[in-house]
Structure 1
Amino acid sequence: MTRSVMRYVKHRITQQPDTWLTFAAECMTCDWKAKSSTDGAPVDVECMTHTGRTGHATFRRSCTSLALVERAE
């Protein structure tokens, strides 16, 4: 019989220092995509402009960050 020792170590996850959130959006009706930005407002404006030109009103929006996991000691 093999014995195993289980060890639990607490960890924490934070945003990687010196990095920024990135906002993006894509139309769910066509292949259009907004230019990614570190500010969400310009991405939203691009979506509204796309809606005004095409009538497409459904978008997938995403906010991406770089995460850092380290032991909590």
Structure 2
Amino acid sequence: MGRSTEASAAGDRGRQTSSNGAGVVTIKTVYAFVPHTLRADPDAESAIFEAECTTFDARSQPSSEDQEPIELWALAHTGRTGHTGYRELVTRFWWATRSG
């Protein structure tokens, strides 16, 4: 399943220039709104997980296989530093394709 929306696409073909005879050039851009669908990238590996300490500039190694190494890193970091706050970072890959 994907999410559909419209995105504007303006290229050189959409730009028009004209002169008013007094040496002033105006540029007009024409936008074309094209429907697109957003889908997960079928060729990408699964999501990539990381944990980041919210107290100090420390981050776990990324893992796409399992979240357990991320959790173990956070617990070990807590044991070493006493820091208790973490942010989970999840990276997923998407493709936007024209649907119209």
Q: Answer whether TM exceeds 0.5 for this pair.
A: yes
The structure with the largest strand share of the pair is 2
Match of 1:14 in 2: 39
Distance 1:13 1:52, change over 3 A: same
Mean Cα displacement is larger for which, 59-68 or 8-17?
8-17
Could you tell me which runs of 5 or more consecutive residues in structure 2 were left unpaired when the two chains were aligned.
Answer: 1-28
Structure 1: distance between partners of 2:55 and 2:69 = 20
**TM-score, normalised on structure 1?**
0.76
CA distance in 1, matches of 2:52, 2:97: 33
Larger Rg: 2
**What residue number does 2:59 align with?**
33
Say whether residues 1:60 and 2:87 are aligned partners. yes
What is the aligned-residue RMSD (CA, Å)?
Answer: 2.2
Match of 2:49 in 1: 23
CA gap 1:45/1:5 in 2 versus in 1, 3 angstroms:
same
- Which string of whole-angstrom CA distances, capped at 9 and with x for unpartnered residues, describes residues 15-56 of structure 1? 111212111111111122101110222112211121122110
Unaligned runs of 5+ in 1: none
